[in-house]
Amino acid sequence: MAEREQQNEKDKNVIEFEPRTRSGGEKAEVRPGETSEEGAETSAADERLARLQAEKDELMQSMVRRQADFENYRKRIERERQDDRRHGVGRLIEELLPVLDSFERALKAHDDPAYEEYRKGLELIYLKLWDTLARHGLERITAAGKAFDPNYHQAIERVESDEHPDGTVLEVLQDGFIYHGRVIRPSIVRVSHNAGHPEGGKSSAAQRHGK
């Protein structure tokens, strides 16, 4: 009787320490250093997420670069279009300068009161033409009384003068013009010559800077 009780006690201990089984009946052995199935799946998901995030970041950077390249391309094309348009208008204005000169000569010649009505009509047309050209960037060069500047003036005669410093523009024979900062026609001028005032030969640009 005592031996049977001891045997039952042994069987009980064996059952209590027997490893647990999975639902399918297989033993779920977990060895030291190994991760569980759920842990492995979580790690793989984290790796996929990190890889997808890296690909997303790379695509975003590529999109930003392409957007910047496109914006630079658009601005460059727009500048080229503006330059082409400006050059075309500039060529047209250069061809219209003789017409502007003709209007000015006609206005100066017809100062007889008998032609007053005719002169008013001519002056109105001239002003409209000039306003149109000025709106597109045409500027008249101011030369009379200024120091001669070869960048803006073309001298065809030097006149002896004791009243003006050497190199002073005495008379403008033909107006010069600037179009968007570029001289398209220099002013045709007469310049004073006075050896007693050599300082008058400084350019207008130098005078503007106090040199």
Q: How far, in Å, CA of 192 to CA of 207, rounded?
A: 17
Instruction: Give the pLDDT confidence score for residue 140 in this predicted structure.
Output: 95
Residue 21 pLDDT exceeds 70 = no
Residue with tokens 């010069």: 176
Residue 87 pLDDT exceeds 50 = yes
Q: 25's torsion region: left (phi>0), alpha (psi -120 to 50) or beta? A: left
pLDDT tens digits for range 135-162: 999 999 999 989 999 999 999 999 888 8
Average pLDDT over residues 13-41: 52
Q: Please state which CATH class domain 139-211 belongs to.
A: mainly beta
Q: Number of C-alpha atoms within 13 angstroms, CB side, residue 9? A: 6
Instruction: Residue 182: name the closest of 148, 151, 146, 145 by CA.
Output: 151
Instruction: Give the pLDDT confidence score for residue 85 in this predicted structure.
Output: 86
Q: Where are the domains of the chain?
A: 80-136, 139-211
Q: What percent of the chain has pLDDT over 70?
A: 73
Instruction: Give the pLDDT confidence score for residue 196 in this predicted structure.
Output: 64
Residues making up the chain, counted from first to last: 211
pLDDT tens digits for range 106-118: 888 767 777 788 8
Instruction: Give the pLDDT confidence score for residue 155 in this predicted structure.
Output: 93
Give the pLDDT band (50/70/90) at residue 5: low
